[in-house]
Amino acid sequence: MSTFGLLAELAALATRHAPGDGIVTTAVPRFGLIRANAPTEPIQALHQPALCLIVQGAKQVMLGTEMFQYDSSSYLVVSVDLPISGQVIRATAAEPYLCLRYDLDAHLLNEVILALGERAPATEPKETAGLFLSSVTPPLLEAFLRLARLLDTPEDQAILAPLVEREILYRALTGDQGARLMRIARPDSQHQRVSRAIGWIKENFRESLRVEHLAQEARMSPSALHHHFRLVTQMSPLQFQKHIRLQEARRLILAEAMDAAEAAFSVGYESPSQFSREYRRLFGAPPKRDTARLRDTPALMAGA
């Protein structure tokens, strides 16, 4: 089947299983669908490690000051938890933005790397950002199509989905950015040490952050942590913690109906006025207006 035919069938499946704006969590583990019927404004979100494949429309993503724009000719890989800004830039009601999101599992990725043996790509020696684009190939599209078709045959999912997942990872590892993908699974890489630091911040974001203690958790020197953390995330550990705090406060206001002051204290802020200033700077609106907008527009919360 041609690339056009593969994308057309994937778009038809995604349209049927995601009939409205927003994110659909499917019955296939780690596999989700995102749809937007119109362009969106830039939306801040904490993106988990994933492979995101657009089958219709286009999007741009900001990590720090670096912009990544992609469509069906390339796919996005997020290798660690990253605060990003995403904006759908091409979508209409007739041809909505449609994205397939496959959440990466380091253990499964490592299994495929071990099976590759000597064919596994060498890990890229130079540390780079934890978000990158890679070229779409027909074999990768065919693997995603097999995964998407399983949405129509629930009885086949338990047996076939794990096999197709491994094929997707195989195609990605043997693609043009396979060396960068390798870093997710290597326990001794600087990338994994930064990932440990990110995990600690996520678990302890309410506490005051001491870089020396964080460096110990990551098994790095403070200077090495600061250097590699900024390379991967495009921000300092303190800036990352602020993003995590504000994202959690946003969730508390949305999901648990907290007011802004209560959410601010809950995530570690001592000053509600400072919280409101930093919230507006990150999300573009004060807490009350921002969360009302999110409730009214589900597609704004899409994470791919």
Which ranges of the chain have pLDDT less than 70? Answer: 123-125, 297-304
C-beta separation of 272 from 264 below 8 A: yes
Q: What is the pLDDT of residue 304?
A: 61
Q: What is the pLDDT of residue 287?
A: 94
CATH superfamily of 3-182: Regulatory protein AraC (2.60.120.280)
64-118 pLDDT, tens digit each: 889 999 999 999 999 999 999 999 999 999 999 999 999 999 889 999 999 998 8
Please give the helix or strand (H or E) that residue 135 lies within, else none.
strand 131-135
Residues 6+ apart with CB under 8 A from 101: 31, 32, 33, 34, 50, 51, 52, 53, 303, 304
- Domain locations along the chain: 3-182, 190-301
CATH entry, 190-301, from 3.40.605.10, 1.10.10.10, 1.10.10.60, 1.10.3720.10: 1.10.10.60
The three state secondary structure string of 40-101 is: CCCEEEEECCEEEEEEECEEEEEECCEEEEECCCEEEEECCCEEEEEEEEECCCCCCEEEEE
**In terms of Cα–Cα distance, which of 266, 215, 260, 263 is closest to 237?**
215
What's the whole-model pTM score?
0.90
Q: What is the pLDDT of residue 181?
A: 87
Give dist(CA 26, CA 35) in Å, integer: 13
Cβ of 230: how many Cβ atoms within 10 Å? 18
Give dist(CA 14, CA 12) in Å, integer: 6
**In terms of Cα–Cα distance, which of 248, 165, 239 is closest to 209?**
239
